[in-house]
Homo-oligomer: A and B are copies of this chain.
């Protein structure tokens, strides 16, 4: 039976590219039939990667069948996976997030979690000497994943190993990292085709603080003004999104990749308190700049207080 390889819902670049990398490895190196899948439409940067390197867009699936063999990459959180995930036959997990509990397997399986910036970096190491067999397009996906998750090495999640792997790949591929990253970030920053609600849900994780449920959304962009121009309607849309998704409040951090800072939208006093207690930031109006804050994993979630 063909193994389905997928990342998390609302797929970003790593959750789009890593399934492609691992399905290649299973098929072409290990000889195990496998297919990359997506749990939703890829974001603009991920869509750019597919088009740029002529990689077929993986099919989108909504759930998995009982006992279907699957490999989970780039998450270990059941909330970010198909509803029936624990009914599937989970064969492996490759991830770089904290363990949240909740996933169960029917037997002992391969699980590899490493504290690096990107799933693709871990795959590079697991593939080892077989990297020599990897086609350029798949290597390009690997490079794109690492540049995306590290924000071209700007994110504090970046480890020296992520950087070394990306630089090795770029060298082999003859790609200039600064030029290519600029292309990627321009693609990611083109959000004109998305509704406000889509932007609020595009790169978002639920997180609870002191009984209050937040949807913690980030928008990484080289053009924050494009997003902030829509501030009023984004704030208006937060109530609807929160209501539909069963959370108390949406937090939107507009991450300015190039200037390495975030702007947090401040629709009400609840978020004003969050800004003050979490980031020691006094929000006078309906937004506040947080210098140096670019990583939800390392800087936003661990500091969130109410």
Q: Which A residues fall within an 8 A CB radius of B?
A: 90, 93, 95-116, 297, 302
Contact = CB atoms under 8 A, between A and B. Distances in A.
B101 A104 contact: yes
Contact of A100 (B96, B97, B104, B112): B104
B112 A112 contact: yes
Nearest to A90: B99
A110 B104 CA distance: 18
Contact of A107 (B101, B104, B302): B302
A298 to B, nearest CB: 8
Given A100-B104, A101-B102, A113 B111 contact: yes
Given A96-B108, A101-B102, A106-B302, 15 more contacts: A90-B99, A93-B99, A97-B108, A98-B106, A99-B109, A99-B111, A101-B104, A107-B302, A108-B114, A108-B115, A110-B113, A111-B112, A111-B113, A112-B112, A112-B113
Chain A contact residues: helix, strand, loop or mixed: loop
B115 A109 contact: yes
A261 to B, nearest CB: 23
A101 to B, nearest CB: 5
23 contacts: A90-B99, A93-B99, A95-B108, A97-B108, A98-B104, A98-B105, A98-B106, A98-B107, A98-B109, A99-B103, A99-B104, A99-B105, A100-B104, A101-B101, A101-B103, A101-B104, A107-B297, A107-B302, A109-B113, A110-B115, A111-B111, A111-B112, A112-B113
A114 to B, nearest CB: 6
For the complex of A and B, 3 pairs with smallest distance between CB atoms: A111-B113, A108-B115, A99-B105
Give the residue among A95, A104, A113 with the most B Cβ atoms within 10 A. A113
A102 B101 CA distance: 5
Contacts of A90: 99
Nearest to A96: B108
Contacts of A101: 101-104
A102 B109 CA distance: 17
Contacts of A297: 107-108
Give the residue among A101, A109, A110 with the most B Cβ atoms within 10 A. A101
